[in-house]
Amino acid sequence: MPRYTVCAKSPLTGTQGEAEAGGWWGTELKKAGLDALIIKGASTTPVYLWINDGKIEIKDASHLWGKDTGETQKVIKEELADDKVRIAQIGLVGENLVRFANIVNELKHFNGRNGLGAVIGSKKLKAIAVRGTKPIDLCDKEKINQGTREITKRIMDNFLSRDLRKLGTPGVVRPFYEAGCLPSYNWTTGYFKEGENLTAETYNQTILKGSKGLYC
């Protein structure tokens, strides 16, 4: 499962904040030839970064500031004339420096902790668009494949892992609900009278359309 991590001083806590996200953006950055990206300082006007196989450009984003994430992604892909571009970005909440703002890539994979979207917003950085075509070299491909097969078997043989695959992270809601330890009403009580409606089982029965892997 590809993951990437964003780190910055958290506007929520004033200390180091980290948040992971899945999706395709992190892998695309690696394929563009970068292992990490350090962003210092702040722009005086809205901008976005365009990283294309290691070449980095700072592009004007004045026309994107104030747009929601769906429209922003659409416009950037049209400007760059490449539908395979992967885009991590902030929305209106990040622009307005709300301290719990997220960063999102592909409109559905979120760096959702510690308000890191507000950090990006403070830099007037609307988005980071990435396109990479370089191969990802492995020092021992066969060993990696062997380890992957072994780990996959262990995961599928473990009932907790199977439940996580079927129910996702919301799978923890039912045991928390039944034990009376949901973080309800800003942690003032462990009970929520409609907690049954928040369980993974209910979600799967009412709104789940299907599942797929994060990256192929």
- CATH architecture of the region 4-131: 4-Layer Sandwich (3.60)
Q: Which residues contact 108 (CB under 8 A, 6 or more apart)?
A: 23
Spatial distance between the Cα atoms of 23 and 61, rounded to a whole number of angstroms:
24
- What phi and psi, each to the nearest 5 degrees, are found at residue 181? -130, 35
Per residue in 64-108, pLDDT tens?
999 999 999 999 999 999 999 999 999 999 999 999 999 999 999
How do the domains of the chain map onto residue ranges?
A: 4-131, 141-206
Q: pLDDT at position 209, please?
A: 87
DSSP for 93-161 reads HHHTT-TT--EEETTTEEE-STTHHHHHHHTTEEEEEEE--S----S-HHHHHHHHHHHHHHHHH-HHH
Tell the residue number behind the tokens 């928390």, with chain if given. 176
Mean pLDDT, each 10-residue run in order, the chain (216 residues)? 90 94 94 96 98 97 98 98 97 97 96 97 98 90 92 86 83 90 89 87 90 65
Give Rg (Cα) of the chain.
20
Answer whether 82's CB lies under 8 Å from 162's CB.
Answer: no
Tell the residue number behind the tokens 């592009």, with chain if given. 59
Q: pLDDT at position 216, please?
A: 47
Q: pLDDT at position 155, please?
A: 84
Taking the model in full, what pTM does it have? 0.81
